[in-house]
Amino acid sequence: MTLRSEILVNKNVLPTAEQALPGRETPMSLPEFHYVFEGTPLLGPFFEGAIDFAIFGLGCFWGAERRFWQREGVVSTVVGYAGGFTPNPTYEEVCSGLTGHTEVVLVVFDKDKVSYRELLAMFWELHNPTQGMRQGNDIGTQYRSAIYCTSPQQLDEAKASRDAFQAELGKAGFGAITTEIDQAPTVYFAEAYHQQYLAKNPEGYCGIGGTGVCLPPSLQGN
């Protein structure tokens, strides 16, 4: 059995750059406008508000994206793949375990209406960040927990919130957080049908489920 076929069997193993699929140069074609925020460009430009970007991986991106677009102050959301090696992968390639990517939500938000710390609180409380290469019954490297930061300040805030949430998880009997926290890599956008999927398919699958543990109030505000 080759290394590549072993990875195909065990999707909890991240591939090396040499083992990863080659991908392609052409990015996915996306709709011009957000399906939920009518008239709002999916990827901008955004002319109003103090706009910033956050990137979170917390399991299947369908349910995660819906929770973020429901948050007041969020201007747009886009789902995609990040943290791996394969450029412009397809959904099927990511699911194979041979790209190294995890499913992520790019959150565009107005800092005057919602803070990054408030979004971090949502991130931690919406999933179980102690499970490694899975989220509930969704198993594989593409479901691992991740925060990809777009500035040094975001990186500092993400690490501080992780330490605080770890303390609360420990009190509740949970293990160590396995969330990957790093500077933002390239986000490769997912296929058009994945964008705002649960708005188009309200009865579709949603794997979102937290631990019931909350961040301390002092770390949930501005």
Active site residues: 60
The kind and range of the H/E element at 198 are: helix 197-200
The answer, yes or no, to whether the previous bond of 185 is cis (omega within 30 of 0) is no
Sign of dihedral through CA atoms 106, 111, 113, 117?
positive
| Alpha carbons 219 and 202: distance in angstroms, whole number | 32
Question: Tokens standing for 132?
Answer: 């490694």
β-partners of residue 182 are: 148
Closest to 83 (Cα-Cα) out of 98, 101, 96, 99: 101
